[in-house]
Structure 1
Amino acid sequence: MTTTRACAARLPCPAPHTRHWPAVTTAALTATVTVMPGFTVGALAPALESGLGLSRSAIGLALSCFYAATALGSPIARRVAARFPVHRVLAAAALSAAAVMLGASQATGMISLTVLLLLGGLSNALVQPAVGRLIAARTPAHRRSLAAGVVGAALAAATFVPGLLVALVLPAHGWRVSLLTAGLVALLVTALAPLARAPLEPAGPTRTGGHPRTGRTLLLWSSAAALAATGNNAVATYFVHLGTDSGLSPTTAGHLLTASSVLAIAVRVAAGALTDRAPGRNPTVIAAMMCTGGFGLALIAAGTPVAFTVGALLAFSAGWGWTGLLLATALHLVTDQAEYAGHTVQVGIYTGATIAPFAFGAISGALGFTPTALVAATAAFAGAGAITAGAVHLRRSER
């Protein structure tokens, strides 16, 4: 009955017998490779600094350009995602990411690296709006948190390959071969795009917001995503730097980055599956995850190998495990504007990601990693507060 009423209201309705998991998995893998240029360059930052003669702040600025291009390009990407078939949007995004990393393997300086990352950020902007449309149209309502969790795991999975590259490829073959390998991985994902092909409901009008209460709530949640992503993205970007500063070897830090990525993927998928049973509690779960991430960042500030290991696991798993849940929650709030929901979450996450690399690199270069990690922890706690404020505002406006 619920599905029938939704279809009558012209909302996106998944076909009851449509196999949605191949499409969701394809979207998750595409989301992984499109954000990989930023994480790969971040993981290889020490080698890039010596190889290209760049400072930590210069690498941070180039990475901030990647994330800024994603955030600023999101409004246009939202319209593209609404106009073209999802599988074509995903294929174009994955192919662009592959080209960016293959090109970066031949970079000769700051300008070429930054231009390539800018282009990569623009293609990365295509993914979340397309994913929002895909999940709303093809995934049953009682599986949307799980589907969004699978796609949200892409941010964690995107650090998995760079971790392997730092641990296995970089020591023997250098940073250029490492980037070349990452580009080839992204190229393989392009071939999977046809799995996301399916008849979708006609995209709704690309409005910039719904009911005023919805718009204010989404604004608060987008701000929360920006705050929390600032700290967690900084850790993901400078993981190897932070690990070695805490007393770990670069190879050990690379292995730990890979292990943290696997744990983060598991947490995101498990959280999505569990919260599908009570989606109304998603904001509470998200706020708790952000607080846990803030605690992990505070541990990283201690600067010891044990504290870094425990803090990194917390920051990666729970502290960064909320992205898929936030997408599912936004989709539940604006079901008839799936591209807008994906766009709003994406803007928040990548605004924080834009601030993180350059700010973290500049502040840590001047003051050290300890006070910088504490600032990142404060941002995570502030994000939890903004999530809670948005949920409270929504409940009051519904009375």
Structure 2
Amino acid sequence: MSMSASTELDEIRIIEQGVPPTRFARGWHCLGLARDYKDGKPHSVEAFGTKLVVFADSMGDIKILDAYCRHMGGDLSQGVIKGDAVACPFHDWRWDGNGKCADIPYARRVPPLARTRRWLAMEKDELIFVWHDPEGNPPAPDVTISEIRTPDAEWTEWEWKALEIDTNCREIIDNVVDMAHFYYVHYGMPTYFKNVFEGHVAIQEQRGESREDVVKWDDPEIPRLLGNRSVAAYHGPSFMTDDLVYIYDRYEVESMLINCHYPVGPDKFVLMYGISIKKTEQVPAEIAEQLMEAMIGYIGIGFEQDAEIWKNKTRIENPLLCEEDGPVYQLRRWYEQFCVDVADVTPEMVQRSEFELDTSRPVEAWKAEVAANLARQAGEEERV
């Protein structure tokens, strides 16, 4: 190899893919809507490299156990609920919500060591959460899920969707700071963008406008979407609440968007998203219900666009960034606190940090591109 070729190779940025972690993040993970688990049946959830059984006892309280029976390995999620216990389909050993074998119908007594792993469950605002900690510790008092929907208003029921994605779940976390992808992937135009990291919370504040060259409104009867305001916050490694206001030409729609996930394994996670709309004088119940159906479809398209990117991209530990790309490395440092022992959490991972991007240059470039696209589209229509 010549000296010039060697020098040129040295200057090429080489992607470092790294290895997806096999350890799953410490924190509260949402498993979905409470109503889906309160039907008197056990439910199977593959998460954290294992299988869980989720069921409600006679009082309607959610219980979560390891799915595999400690007797002979039967799958409890394929069994039935009997009283406050889930009964194994193999030999009818009955396990209560505390992880203790409560009864073996054919046995004189229950072995003293007949216990299985109980997972800490929490129900909040009609959602079910499970606590995961590789060290086996309970959550610290300040590690909580904050208020989801304000109690001083009436809201629609959750509209909820889920999809399984074959990649490591950190890919979705990077979106917290990725301002530019909203234009190229989701057809919005961020005009304001700020991140705040502190403790176990990561916040994304943004305002944006709709792209007229992509999103068309030809029917005057349909309200025209002008843009949005958003304050989204990850509470821990996997649960994001988004106070999202859609700005239409006739009214504003206040909503709560949930973006959450739980890992199935190192290279697979379940992504869930849901929306609830605040009922107001401008948006009464009947309009809120109609809007919710439309909005969950629109939001779903956005998540599917992300999933298509994740499916085809490579993992990259050393992304090459420009000034307008946001604090990617700082975000990953914040996220690292959930992937190490509590004793190894450093002050840099949890200290307060604020980053406000200057969006003037991107917006100028994007508006010019939108204008050019609209002119091209108008020319094509005239030729037709």
Q: Shorter-chain TM-score: which interval? A: under 0.3
TM-score (norm 1): 0.24
Which structure is larger by alpha-carbon Rg, 1 or 2?
Answer: 2
Structure having the higher strand fraction is 2
TM-score (norm 2): 0.24
